[in-house]
């Protein structure tokens, strides 16, 4: 069916935007589209379908002109709304701004700082492109009213984004240095929408003394190294990649200060490059993203292969496995999440251990067995870090780990990598491996096998259609067992949970990409060899994936 557009309305919307756009490049971009009407109607309609909104991970979208894109006009309006909202809350302290090495990141950071200064709010900038965890740390360390991180994390190169963090005054004990949540996101969105003409937004100057020195990075690194116990082994060989992002310098310095050997870095991915030329998607979860670091690990005989995503708030780990392709296997986020939780518990760490509704149920089982406080939240680290003021550790299956919430109240791929290496080096000193520890956990609590079914779409309406079908006709059985629980999680979040005695499926739209995701779990008791239980669980998981695809009406995996 061919879509029709009100060409006159589109032309008026675009011309009004052009008249208010402060960037000559994006003005020219829109003019070209207006000149191309009616052939460019679909493109213009998409750009004016609505403004970008704060989702699971803040504001994120394609670099392009118009309200439904990341550009200087959108950033100026967003920054103006944010600082006006901060003023309305009587929040004290500066606005601290960080940025990665993506296209437009430094420019958007400067634009945000100028808007803050123009509104009378002192702005301070991180000294250079740095990992998101450094910004999250700086919000707390500097007593900031709020923080902004310009990054699209692991999205494709044509995207950028804008994360907002609150300081202690507005965030409270559980949200100091954490990303915003509802109703704050709605209130800020309302303030953004109330901004009038961009030409009326006052702009200030950003002086050299508003750019922080390297001391803020040194302070973060001192805290990062502090997640390790001082007397644990450090003998370990690691291959590493930042996937063309900003993590390499900070991570390698953290390893040096901690006493680990400097990781061998994948040379062609070592420097920041906003084009991400060697990967289809700069996301360690995506197939092929870790191929080069795994190849390097095999060449040098490393104990581990580690990857950060481009803004280094996620951490991926691969281990030697003679049965896997190329002799290495990437660990699932749930595996790393439970390994780190178990390690901290064995160290005697006290407090609440938390994860999300889409992560494995294994952490809940372990916490209950060990009488450790447990929290389960909606998807996203902004919720995990608010699981309780007593939070000691949180993780999500999407490779995010918060191992030091008093340092960084967000996921942190640098401290997570350090803690993984402490565990691996400790096990290595005892002649064991991470796989041995996983086997031990499985013997005690059963094999909890997890996987994902991701359905990427070009039209977001398809996601709504699939969710509607699932809600209307949920399956009565999965893997031959009755569905004992079918829970629609609206209005808290757009998700549906299905559970049987030994399986679980959670279906939800992605908060960062045009995908529908189904999070799958099969629980298999270990009555003999762990390997045999894993094989049964793997087979059952493949069947569950195929059945879930059929339920959603998509092609099988």
* Residues labelled as active-site residues: 153
Secondary structure class of 63 (helix, strand, coil): strand
Cis peptide bond N-terminal to 152, omega within 30: no
The rounded distance, in Å, linking the Cα atoms of 282 and 245 is 9
**Closest C-alpha to 184, from 383, 51, 394, 404:** 383
Element (H, E) at 113: helix 105-118
Tokens 């281990």 appear where? 319
Task: Choose among 140, 133, 138: nearest CA to 100.
Answer: 133
CA 32 vs CA 44, 45, 314: distances in Å: 11, 14, 39
Q: Are 340 and 403 in contact (CB under 8 A)?
A: yes
Coil/strand/helix, residue 485: strand
Beta carbons within 8 Å of 236's beta carbon, 6+ residues apart = 260, 261, 303, 304, 421, 424, 425, 428
* Angle ∠(15,17,21) on CA atoms, nearest 5: 120
State the Cα–Cα distance between residues 257 and 125, nearest whole angstrom: 25
| Residues 181/383, Cβ–Cβ less than 8 Å | yes
Residue owning tokens 């067992």: 481
Closest among 263, 256, 247, 229 to 348, alpha carbons compared: 229
């Amino acid at each position: 069916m061919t879509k029709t557009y009100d060409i006159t309305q589109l032309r008026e919307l675009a011309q009004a935007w052009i008249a208010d756009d402060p960037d000559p490049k994006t003005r020219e971009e829109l003019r070209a589209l207006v000149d191309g009407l009616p052939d460019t109607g679909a493109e213009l309609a998409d750009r004016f379908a609505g403004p970008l909104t704060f989702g699971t991970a803040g504001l994120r979208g394609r670099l392009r002109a118009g309200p439904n894109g990341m550009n200087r006009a959108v950033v100026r309006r967003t920054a103006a709304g944010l600082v006006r909202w901060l003023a309305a809350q009587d929040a004290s302290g500066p606005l601290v701004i960080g940025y990665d090495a993506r296209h437009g990141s430094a420019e958007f950071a400067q634009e945000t700082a100028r808007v803050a200064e123009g509104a009378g709010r002192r702005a301070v900038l991180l000294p250079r492109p740095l990992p998101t965890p450094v910004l999250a740390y700086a919000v707390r360390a500097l007593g900031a009213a709020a923080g902004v991180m310009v990054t699209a994390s692991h999205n494709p190169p044509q995207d950028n984004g804008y994360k907002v963090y609150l300081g202690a005054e507005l965030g409270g004990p559980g949200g100091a240095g954490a990303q915003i949540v509802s109703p704050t996101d709605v209130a800020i969105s309302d303030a953004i929408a109330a901004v009038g003409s961009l030409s009326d937004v006052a702009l200030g100057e950003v002086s050299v003394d508003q750019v922080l020195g390297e001391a803020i990075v040194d302070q973060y690194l001192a805290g990062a190294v502090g997640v390790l116990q001082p007397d644990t082994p450090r003998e370990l060989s690691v291959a590493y990649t930042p996937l063309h992002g900003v993590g390499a310098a900070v991570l390698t310095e953290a390893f040096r200060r901690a006493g680990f050997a400097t990781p061998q870095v994948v040379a062609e991915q070592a420097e920041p490059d906003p084009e991400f030329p060697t990967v289809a998607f700069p996301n360690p979860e995506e197939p092929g993203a870790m191929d080069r670091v795994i190849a390097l690990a095999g060449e040098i005989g490393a104990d581990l292969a580690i990857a950060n995503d481009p803004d280094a708030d996620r951490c991926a780990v691969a281990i030697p496995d003679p049965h896997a392709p190329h002799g290495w296997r990437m660990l699932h986020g749930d595996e790393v999440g439970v390994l780190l939780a178990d390690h901290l518990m064995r160290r005697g760490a006290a407090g609440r251990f938390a994860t999300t509704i889409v992560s494995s149920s294994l952490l809940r089982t372990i916490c209950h067995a060990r009488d450790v406080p447990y929290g389960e939240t909606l998807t996203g680290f902004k919720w995990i870090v608010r699981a309780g003021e007593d939070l000691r550790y949180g993780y999500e299956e999407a490779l995010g780990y918060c191992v030091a919430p008093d340092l960084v109240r967000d996921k942190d791929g640098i401290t997570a990598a350090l803690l993984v290496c402490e565990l691996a080096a400790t096990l290595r000193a005892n002649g064991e491996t991470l796989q041995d520890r996983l086997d031990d956990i499985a013997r005690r609590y059963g094999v909890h096998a997890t996987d994902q079914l991701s359905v990427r779409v070009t039209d977001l309406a398809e996601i709504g259609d699939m969710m509607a079908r699932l809600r209307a006709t949920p399956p009565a059985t999965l893997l031959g067992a009755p569905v004992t629980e079918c829970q629609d999680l609206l209005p808290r979040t757009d998700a549906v949970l299905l559970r049987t005695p030994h399986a679980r499926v959670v279906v939800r739209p992605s908060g960062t990409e045009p995908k529908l995701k189904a999070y799958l779990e099969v629980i298999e008791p270990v009555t003999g060899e762990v390997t045999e239980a894993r094989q049964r669980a793997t087979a059952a998981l493949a069947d569950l994936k195929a059945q879930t695809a059929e339920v959603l009406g998509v092609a099988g995996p």
